Amino acid sequence: MIVALIIACEVGFWVLLALGLAVRYLLKRRRTSVVLLLCEPVLELVLFVVTAIDLKNGAEPSWEHGLAALYIGFTVAYGHYTIRWLDGHAAHRLGGAPKPVGPPRYGMPRARHGGRLWLRTLLAAAVACALLQGAVWYVGDSGDVSSLRSFQWAALRAAGIHGLVALAYLIWPKKAPAGTEDEQPFTSPKESARR
C-alpha cells in the first residue's frame, strides 16, 4: 500500500505542477497557479500520515516505510528547486521570457553549483534520517527496525557519495575547451525572470 501511495504522490506532484504552470502561463491566472503549487506539500503530508498510521496499526517496519522517508526527504530538499527550474522553462516556452541560463559546466562556478546541490542532498538525507529515527522510536522494541536502519545508512551513503562528487569538482575543476569563452555564471530561473 505504501509503494502505491508513493507512486500516487509522485504522479500527483507532476500533475499539480503541470496544472499550476499551465494555469499560470496559458490562462494567466497567477493566484490560482500559486494555490495549485502550494498543494504540493500536502501530498508529502498525506504520505507521512498514512505511513505513521500503517506503523501504528501494527505493520512490520519494512523497506516501504524506508522508501517513504527517502521520498519525503528528497521532495523537501529538491521539490522547490525542481518547481523553480521548470517554472523558468515554462516561462520561456509559454510566457515569452528569455531562455533560462543553464548550470555552469566549467571551473569554480561548476564547483559552487555542485556544492549547493550537495547541500540539498544533505538536507534530504537529514530529513529522511530524522523521519526514520522517529519511526524507530515509535516502533520501539516491539518490532524489527533493521530495515529502517538500513535506509538511514542508504541516505547517509547517498549524501556521502554526492559529497565526494562535489569535492572532486572543487579539487579538479573541469576546464573550458580551448577557444571557448567562459560561461556566464549560473542564475536561477527566479533571478533570470527579474532581468
Res 194 pLDDT > 80:
no
Residue 13, domain extent: 2-194
**CA–CA separation, 13 vs 38, rounded Å?**
11
- Residue 137's identity, in one-letter code, is W
Q: How many CB atoms lie within 10 A of CB 91?
A: 20
Question: What pLDDT, in 10s, does the model give residues 90-105?
Answer: 989 888 888 888 888 8
pLDDT of residue 135: 87
Residue 181 pLDDT level (bands cut at 50, 70, 90): low
Q: Helix, strand or coil for residue 185?
A: coil
Three cell numbers, residue 2? 505504501
Confidence label for 195 from pLDDT (cuts 50, 70 and 90): very low
| Domain tally, the chain | 1
pLDDT in tens, 1-57: 788 888 888 898 899 999 999 999 988 988 999 898 888 888 888 888 888 888 878
Smallest CA-to-CA distance from 66 within 1, 126, 131, 7 is with: 131
pLDDT digits (tens, 9 = 90+) for 115-165: 999 999 999 999 999 999 998 888 877 777 888 899 999 999 999 999 999
Note the pTM of the prediction, 2 decimals: 0.82
